[in-house]
Amino acid sequence: MNTKNPKVDAFLERATTWQKEMQKLRSIVLACAVEEQLKWGVPCYTLDGSNVVLIHAFKDYCALLFIKGALLKDPHGMLIQQTQNVQSARQLRFTNVQEIVKAKAILKAYINEAIEVEQAGIKVELKAVEEFDVPEEFQQRLKQDRALKKAFDALTPGRRKAYLLHFSAAKQSQTRIARIEKCRQQILDGKGLKDL
């Protein structure tokens, strides 16, 4: 069994929800050939410095999140894509300890396959930013505003993708236009959606 990280011990002691479930998931993951760390405020399990799987809690469930889950075979049909825009990661979700205990052998198999994927150096082929839909309202704004188009084109692919997803997520045209206007200066400043 791998060594427990004291930072993860502290994280689990402070957890107000899903504590027992996360502890059980931790014991299963630590039985595999990974190193335990705390990253992004959650338990993260790595192999030679590369992230393999996370344990995290949500309101309605706790989960194992496989960083390259899209590459796993998933013979039991258990992996869940969080949203349609998540390209690589996949989750296994749980709502009680009994589910985890029952699935222990399956979980170990998924974790070991994720380790093999990482050892093999296999990469997830991500959709290029050019393949994402550009909302009509944003297309029109870019045609009218050369400075905005130039600034948007100069952003990193990840930042462009984040803006496109943010604008596209609005169901109404009026909301898309409002989001575009709200983000205009940030784009002109070369900043991403979440940059301060």
| Residue pLDDT, tens place only, 139-196 | 999 999 999 999 999 999 889 988 998 998 899 999 999 999 999 999 999 999 888 6
Q: Residue 196: what pLDDT?
A: 63
128, pLDDT greater than 60: yes
The Cα–Cα gap between 28 and 107 comes to 8
Q: Residue 62: what pLDDT?
A: 96
84, pLDDT greater than 70: yes
Average the pLDDT over 24-35 and give the result.
96
Q: Which two tokens stand for residue 185?
A: 């200066």
Confidence of residue 2 (pLDDT cuts 50, 70, 90): confident
CATH 3.90.1150.200 maps onto the chain at 6-119
The Cα–Cα gap between 33 and 95 comes to 26
Mean pLDDT (the chain) is: 93
Q: What angle do CA 49, 113, 21 make, to 5 degrees?
A: 80
Long-range pairs of 50-59 with CB within 8 A, sequence gap ≥ 24: 50/118, 52/111, 52/114, 52/115, 52/118, 53/29, 53/111, 53/114, 55/22, 55/25, 55/26, 55/29, 57/15, 57/17, 57/18, 57/21, 57/22, 59/17
74, pLDDT greater than 70: yes
Can you give the pTM of this predicted structure? Answer: 0.74
**What separation in angstroms does the CA of 126 have from each of 38, 46, 70, 149?**
26, 21, 10, 24
CATH class, domain 6-119, is alpha beta
1, pLDDT greater than 60: no
Q: Which residues pair with 94 in a beta bridge?
A: 62
Average the pLDDT over 34-55 and give the result.
96
Confidence of residue 109 (pLDDT cuts 50, 70, 90): very high
Q: Residue 177: what pLDDT?
A: 94
